[in-house]
Amino acid sequence: MNFTEQNLSLEKCPALVLNADYRPLSYYPLSLWSWQDSVKSVFLDRVSIVSNYDRVIRSPSFNMKLPSVIALKSFVTPQSSPSFTRFNVFLRDKFSCQYCGSGHELTFDHLLPRSKGGQTNWHNVVTACSACNVKKGGRLLKYSGMVLAQEPFQPSSEDLHKSGKNFPPNFLHKSWMDYLYWDIELEN
Ligand SMILES: [Zn+2]
């Protein structure tokens, strides 16, 4: 038994949840279930266990290793158009100001300012640091002398998945790696 893992608190043993095709259900936020939910879904026969922690849980009637990776038995179709949220806008823009590339003090800029009828949607809102936001002010982009890194677009779930891989959570169990990164394109 791995002594270190046996001393881990149960709360630090979430399971990575894969879809039935063995790709993570989502990358950002990473699809993780608490140990209680993952054990329950094993008993309900909704998931297969792909990998385990060395951490064992015991009750009078059974012992089991906690699952570290589980896969759904039935495929869940990913949501095709992600919600328009602050977080997803940052994720689409890779947490960088679309004018100067900075990752600090991020806010949102309306390309067509709200004061001029600009809407709050995927096509008019970009990530901007507060300095660039102030600099652009209420001007139209073409009069601001500033250049966008990319035209804002409505991302697909796949786009956000790809982007999310660049921002992994702080803790990744070793058994998750094969499933998190196997579909990254190989470079020559
Ligand atoms: Zn900036």
> What pLDDT digit, counting tens, does each position of 1-12 carry?
455 677 778 888
> 81 C-alpha vs ligand 1 centroid, how far in Å?
27
**CA triple 41-46-49, angle to 5 deg:** 75
Domain residue limits at 56: 3-78+167-176
- Domain membership of residue 10 (yes or no) is yes
Return the minimum-mean-pLDDT range out of 17-26, 34-43, 133-142, 164-173: 164-173
31 and 48 belong to one structural domain: yes
Residues 72 and 94 in one domain: no
Q: Residue 183: what are its φ and ψ, rounded to 5°?
A: -100, 10
Ligand 1 centroid from CA 145, angstroms: 13
Q: Could you give the number of structural domains in the chain?
A: 2
Residue 79 has pLDDT above 90, yes or no: no
**What's the 30 CA to ligand 1 centre distance in angstroms?**
28
**d(CA 128, ligand 1 centre) in Å:** 5
How much is the pTM? 0.65
